[in-house]
Amino acid sequence: MDEKLKQKFISIRRDLHQIPEKGFEEYKTQKYLMNYLQELPAERLEIKVWKTGIFVKVKGLKPNKTFGYRADMDGLPMQELTELPFSSQHDGMMHACGHDFHMAIGLGVLTALVFNPIQDDVIFLFQPAEEGPGGAKPMIESDIFAQWRPDEIVALHIAPEYPVGTIATKPGLLFANTSELFIDLKGKGGHAAYPHHANDMVVAASQLVSQFQTVISRNIDPLDSAVITIGKITGGFVQNVIAEEARLEGTIRTLSEESMGRVKQRIEAIVKGIEAGFECKAAIDYGSMYHQVYNHELLTQEFMNFANGHVEVIECKAAMTGEDFGYMVKEVPGFMFWLGVNSPYGLHHQKLNPNEEAIEVAISLLTSYFSFKSQSS
């Protein structure tokens, strides 16, 4: 890729970085992508809008198979602190998970295939709402996906911990099963001086957090892995009033579907115990749930072998990261890989600043890979 073309997709990434939006609210992002796509030769493309996402087919010369690339679009509800000249223009929103990279790379590969067509079709899925409430599942349930269903599919995710020029993946389980967790407790408030006349939901919430620790240590096979994290607790209004209500917000992550079921079963039993013990009412909401990302064994190994001639390839361990791309590889053979971007700050950090040199690495790798696959089909 020449320097001018490389800078073009870096510039696109910076444009997208400035307009992060919530899931299913990616209106500016969708418009930006559509404006770019409409400048490309129309005879090579078919474009279909789906909610705030986009399906794009790059037509092959003599298609025998269809390959797919998924790029997620949404940002995160957090304030950017990078002080970059192209920082987020949307207060309280940031591309802190690299979706701006994923889209810019997708456009780069798409453009390369438009001007240097391969034999087969390639479908690009610009998917909304990966961070929540989850866009992959409804996207693959759409009529458009049924019409353009790929034979194989691939996605990537930036990895701050790996250097530029490196990718990491593995056959089999890559990312965990995940579920959000919201618990609302309602008791009886009262004056701090008369605790015997109230049911304190701050104490009840504290008991819940403590008891949840036993679920992982005593109810999950130690050779398996699971995590319950309560990241936020709210309750009460002022220091001298006993809280009538409390809310816990967290996440569950497991490396097997069976363990996810077992964790939820134990959570529900413990919450019932809290209801009885504190004479209160409780409601559980599991929010968004993501299926594990299970990389197709043969396709992943084939890709790793191919990529080894282009970049440094690391066989990594499975991670407790959640990704709704899992729903796609549950339906279509495929895989995901980590793309090294060498940032001192990790994913979902307010100062995440990935190295933009990785954009060219990914575009070149995926363009070559789709060409290789088309020649082999």
CA-CA distance, 216 to 252, in Å (whole number)? 10
Among residues 72, 120, 324, 360, the one annotated as catalytic is: 72
Let me know whether 170 and 319 are in one domain. yes
Same domain, yes or no, for 24 and 138? yes
The domain tally of the chain equals 2
What's the pTM value of the predicted model, to 2 decimals?
Answer: 0.93
pLDDT exceeds cutoff 80 at 377: no
15 catalytic? Reply is: no
Of 289, 321, 338, the last residue of a domain is 289
Asked if 282 and 251 sit in the same domain, the reply is yes
Q: Are 150 and 123 in contact (CB under 8 A)?
A: yes
Task: Give the range of the structural domain holding residue 192, as residue numbers without chain letter.
Answer: 177-289
Which residue among the candidates 80, 100, 130, 131 is catalytic per the annotation? Answer: 131
CATH number of the domain at 262, please: 3.30.70.360
- How far is the C-alpha of 59 from the C-alpha of 259, rounded, in Å? 43
For residue range 301-310, list pLDDT tens digits in order.
999 999 998 9
285 and 300 assigned to the same domain? no
Share of the chain above pLDDT 70, in %: 100
At 66 the pLDDT is 98
> Looking at the predicted structure, is the pLDDT value of residue 281 above 90?
yes
Residue 98 neighbours by CB distance under 10 Å: 26
End of a domain among 233, 266, 289? 289
pLDDT at position 223 is 87
Does residue 131 have an active-site annotation?
A: yes
CATH number of the domain that residue 304 is part of: 3.40.630.10
pLDDT of 368 > 80? The answer is yes
Indicate whether 8 and 149 sit together in one domain. yes
